[in-house]
Structure 1
Amino acid sequence: MVLAQRAIASMDLDPIQIGIVPESGPNRVGLVGLPVWMWVDSPTDDTFGPITASASEGSVSVSATASVASIVWDMGDGTTVTCTGEGTPYADHYGKQDSPTCGHRYEKMSTDQPDGAYQVTATSHWVVEWTGGGQSGTIEFDLTTDALPIRIGEAQVLTQ
């Protein structure tokens, strides 16, 4: 187990990079009721896996392989969305359709977020399978991103 932990430490794993539409930033606002798309932006071995590393001490060697089994998205409105896989990056030709792999819709404006800003985080659930020294096992742990603010507004229809 100690060698497995050492192998995992040598992987230098990081939380994913969030891909999301609507994008974070000034002059970027999504609308209540429209789909939000979430995905792993530019996945790498150390942010999504699979990645394999080994550690040895004396004649004992352990090999460990780590990969993300799921991602729990905290949407900042009291809901979480659990997705498996990397998600589907949004492209303009998708229009207003829901993400086929990982999405959400904000249903109403929250009184807790008067400016429409929601703090989104993504928690990667890593599963590591290890074997060596006549033993094997599974180690699981989570890595969470820093919060990413996105803004959601309401469309107002004006008639004259």
Structure 2
Amino acid sequence: MLTELGAAGLLVLAAGLAAVAPPTCSVTGLGGECQVEATDPGSPGDQGTPPGGGGTSTGPRVCRGWSGEEIECVNGLGTWSDSRSCYMQPADPQPPFEDPVWEGRTDGVVYRCMIPQPGSSAMWTTYQWLPEALPGPSPRELAQAAVEQMEFRAGLLGMNPDADALSVVGLQTWLWIADPDEHTVGPMTRTATAGAVSVTATARLDEVVWDMGDDGAPVSCDGPGTPYDPSYGGGDSPTCGYTYDRSSAREPDEAYTVTATSRWVVEWAGGGQSGTIPMEFSRSAEVRVGEVQALVTRR
């Protein structure tokens, strides 16, 4: 027999659809991680446009708990139900028709309804009969759930001379991401599934834009850059570098603030739909730049 477990908690759902800006994460210093939620850029064709179709696209559904905290709309517990304020998915296996939940019926579907208890790992679980199967999450919602599994990080800044040394006017500074892995430079793939529908999202680093803190134009590099090795000598980086034309002596703390912004593209496909999600993450560090002058002496 199917029974209720635990004490009921009251959840209130607030749902809305809106076009929002791409998510960003700014990190200053050496530490920090970015836990992100994918959002829809809101342009037709980018998110969830059926093949061969037009239509419009809106932002993702937002679900909130009883105290207003944002919760996942789709996770391992099922899909959030607005009307029932719980996560629902078909009971597997379906209970025998003798179970009281059927109330003598032999048609329809029995769903498991799970409500997370605030501040606890406990769940309040009930089972409900419905006359027909509920529609599952859209491919776009599953794409959001897949991206929510990705733990993005703003990469550590690699520079030669490094941030603890003194860069020199006229000598190129090599630039690269110093901790390359799937979370900082990709690629990173995750899949979300609901029923028979699966959506796979793959995040790839498109470029890293370096703002060097002076009046020069930002440097756009395809990929994470090339780490410096002493065997390269004093040559220029083959992939990403910048040359200062004035020292940082007149800057606050006598240093430039260097900011590296990693720009990602997340491509997703499944359920007969596909789309892209742009994302970017930034990290900053201070760099001192000096000027070398030749001193001519007479003997």
Same fold (TM over 0.5): yes
For 2:257, the equivalent position in structure 1 comes to: 119
Q: Spell out, residue by residue over 1:17-69, the C-alpha distance to the aligned partner (whole angstroms, 9 max, x if none).
A: 211111112xx111100010001113101111111001123332210000101
Give unpaired runs (5+ residues) of structure 2.
1-139
Question: Contact conserved, 2:249 with 2:255, CA < 8 A, in 1?
Answer: no
- Pair 1:20 & 2:166 matched: no
- CA distance in 1: counterparts of 2:263 and 2:252, whole angstroms: 32
- Pair 1:42 & 2:184 matched: no
For 1:67, the equivalent position in structure 2 comes to: 204
What does 1:115-154 correspond to in 2, within 5 Å? 116-145=254-283, 147-154=284-291
Q: Spell out, residue by residue over 1:114-138, the C-alpha distance to the aligned partner (whole angstroms, 9 max, x if none).
A: 6541111111110111001110111
Deviation at 1:12, TM superposition (A): 1.0
Higher relative contact order (CA 8 A, sep 6+): 1
Question: Contact conserved, 2:248 with 2:256, CA < 8 A, in 1?
Answer: no
Aligned-partner residue type, residue 68 of structure 1: L
- CA distance in 1: counterparts of 2:253 and 2:187, whole angstroms: 39
Q: Is the radius of gyration larger for structure 1 or structure 2? A: 2
Name the SS of the counterpart of 1:2 in structure 2.
helix
Question: Contact conserved, 1:116 with 1:153, CA < 8 A, in 2?
Answer: no
Which runs of at least 4 in structure 1 moved beyond 6 Å after TM superposition?
Answer: none
Change (3 A) 1:135 1:12: same
Question: Contact conserved, 2:248 with 2:288, CA < 8 A, in 1?
Answer: no
Aligned-partner residue type, residue 150 of structure 2: M
Give unpaired runs (5+ residues) of structure 1.
none
**What RMSD, in angstroms, separates the aligned Cα atoms of the two structures?**
1.6
- Pair 1:103 & 2:244 matched: no
For 1:94, the equivalent position in structure 2 comes to: 232
For 2:214, the equivalent position in structure 1 comes to: 77
Question: Contact conserved, 1:88 with 1:100, CA < 8 A, in 2?
Answer: yes
Question: Contact conserved, 2:249 with 2:290, CA < 8 A, in 1?
Answer: no
Question: Contact conserved, 1:22 with 1:150, CA < 8 A, in 2?
Answer: no
Counting strand residues as a fraction of each chain, which structure ranks higher?
A: 1
Aligned-partner residue type, residue 205 of structure 2: V
For 2:61, the equivalent position in structure 1 comes to: none
TM-score by length of 1: 0.90
TM-score by length of 2: 0.50
Change (3 A) 1:112 1:60: farther
Number of residues of Structure 1 aligned to a counterpart in Structure 2: 157
- CA distance in 2: counterparts of 1:115 and 1:136, whole angstroms: 48
Deviation at 1:94, TM superposition (A): 1.9
Identity %: 48
